[in-house]
Structure 1
Amino acid sequence: MLSRLFKKKSAAQPLDIARVPEGRRIYAIGDIHGRNDLLLKLIEKIDADDQQRGKAATEIIFLGDLIDRGPDSAGVIETAMKLKQERGHVRFLMGNHEEVYLAAAAGSEKATRFFNRIGGKETILSYEISIREYMDLDNNALAERLPDLIPSHHIEFVKNFENQIVIGDYAFVHAGIRPGIALEEQKPKDLRWIREEFLSAKDPHEKVIVYGHTINDDVIEKGNRIGIDTGAYYTEKLTALALEGEQRWYLDTALSQ
């Protein structure tokens, strides 16, 4: 067990001097949850910001939970696929909602039941099914319907989402990490689902952890983590963290802007 523990003497950097490699500019986007309208608005802001800052190798990272709760999860996936195809340097993390989506799309009755509980109804209705048909299907029938309803190219796209991305002094994950465990030994379950154990950790991590999953009114900056899930699906505020060198700044879709 001792060999698995993260040693505090490694090269962890405090938040105020964490950096990404020279020549790279990173935009990390928080949980979208079916708000394709806000995603399109934020991409416009990212593009405008990127253009005014001069030349760099620009990358966009989605922190997961693209789907559920909001009205247009299918549209979000289409937008994400188009961005990836047109720009290339776009990466996606697997969130807990994507994990359940994939299980439900495979026809699992148990996963379909849970999917509906966590906002999957809105995702299902963003595909080619009427509210009447949806209401007429019991859970077993709905589970049988989903493999034909959800397009295979959406499934294949989401299946390729990553568990974590490390760039410079930052590690990007969906939910957080298990404290005391090296990044390369983190379990996908923790990266997608963990909450309290991660949020309550005070000691430095191996990297500064950038995450979504846990909603706050505004960005959360602690010495060992940055949280950027600002509850877009109901607050109208989708947030992106931008990083270049030792600089960091934020863009969002708040109505006041």
Structure 2
Amino acid sequence: MRGLPFFTRPSRHTAAVRPRVAERERVYAVGDVHGRVDLLNALLDDIREDMVLHDDGRTARVVLLGDYIDRGDSSRHVLECLRDLSCELFSCDCLMGNHEAAMVDFLEDPTHGEAWMKMGGSQTLASFGVQVPVRPLTQDDLSRIRDDFREAVSPLLPFVSALPLIATSGDVVFCHAGVNPARDLDAQTTRALLWGHPDALRDEPLPGKLVVHGHYDDPEIVSRPGRICLDTGAYYSGILTAIRFDDDEHVMRAGR
């Protein structure tokens, strides 16, 4: 589904001029994928077609907002797909999400394993063919699982470990979990950007900027003055959402 106009409800907090991406860029922001490679491939196909339909000399750029793994069944294929997007003709920014950070933490220290698995890491391990015993796990179990997973994921680890926290275009800021409104953009902490902040969902979190993020799932796009949340719960809703930012904002969806 392509090119649906996206409008926000008027608010006295809304700036007179909506913050926009850079003049010579057309940016497609994609919400949390969570192992749904089927939806990701369908949405990327629509984005490629949309780029051709709206080609006017601007630089096309795709920004993915993190949380590519866990919960859905195809985390490995999602990571492989995103790694290979570097071969595309458009610029692609894949941002770090808290689920990727939790995976890296487990690889560095197996004591983090149970916490990650409760977040959906078990589905990611299964997608890499790593067996997890169906019983309470010992520290030896976690170390063995970590070692098996590290071997299986090693071709993708340089890609995942290097994922950035923030991307920007013009006055639009892209990150996974929003920002801490009490800090300037260049003073944001890794924890706030990946795991959220108690005030992240306030209106106008960065005055003069539009913050586009995921992390807080809702079957519908949540648009507030100064921020948009694009996590539409793909793993349970069956809908993966993107917005095209250029002279306006247009919603794109893959799924039912």
Give the TM-score range, shorter chain: 0.7 to 0.9
- Partner of residue 43, structure 1: 44
Gaps of 5+ in 2: 1-13
The amino acid across from 1:250 in the alignment is: V
Larger % of helix: which? 1
- Partner of residue 147, structure 1: 147
- Partner of residue 162, structure 1: 164
Quote the offset at 1:145 in angstroms. Answer: 2.6
- Partner of residue 115, structure 2: 114
- Partner of residue 239, structure 1: 241
Quote the offset at 1:135 in angstroms. Answer: 3.0
Query: For the residues of structure 2 that align with 1:100 and 1:27, how far apart are their CA atoms?
Result: 26
Matched position secondary structure for 1:70: coil
Which deviates the most, 39-48 or 53-62?
53-62
The amino acid across from 2:181 in the alignment is: P
Which deviates the most, 47-56 or 213-222?
47-56
Q: 2:174 aligns with which of 155, 161, 172?
A: 172
**Do structure 1's residue 135 and structure 2's residue 137 form an aligned pair?**
no
Decide whether the 8 Å contact of 1:104 with 1:143 is kept in 2: no
In structure 2, relative to structure 1, the CA distance for the partners of 1:139 and 1:89 (3 Å cut) is farther
Quote the offset at 1:204 in angstroms. Answer: 5.1
Deviations 1:7-59 (A, max 9, x none): xxxxxx83852212222110111000011111001101111111111232111
Gaps of 5+ in 1: 1-12
In structure 2, relative to structure 1, the CA distance for the partners of 1:185 and 1:195 (3 Å cut) is closer
Decide whether the 8 Å contact of 1:15 with 1:223 is kept in 2: no
In structure 2, relative to structure 1, the CA distance for the partners of 1:208 and 1:15 (3 Å cut) is farther
Aligned length: 239
Decide whether the 8 Å contact of 2:205 with 2:211 is kept in 1: no
Query: For the residues of structure 2 that align with 1:95 and 1:79, how far apart are their CA atoms?
Result: 16
State the 4+ residue runs in structure 1 displaced beyond 6 angstroms.
Answer: none
Query: For the residues of structure 2 that align with 1:208 and 1:17, how far apart are their CA atoms?
Result: 8
In structure 2, relative to structure 1, the CA distance for the partners of 1:203 and 1:39 (3 Å cut) is closer
Quote the offset at 1:142 in angstroms. Answer: 3.0
Query: For the residues of structure 2 that align with 1:195 and 1:104, how far apart are their CA atoms?
Result: 23
In structure 2, relative to structure 1, the CA distance for the partners of 1:15 and 1:67 (3 Å cut) is farther
Deviations 1:135-189 (A, max 9, x none): 3782422333323323212111111111111110100010010012100000011
In structure 2, relative to structure 1, the CA distance for the partners of 1:202 and 1:43 (3 Å cut) is closer
TM-score, normalised relative to structure 1: 0.86
Which deviates the most, 81-90 or 63-72?
81-90
Q: CA RMSD in A?
A: 2.0
Percent pairwise identity = 30
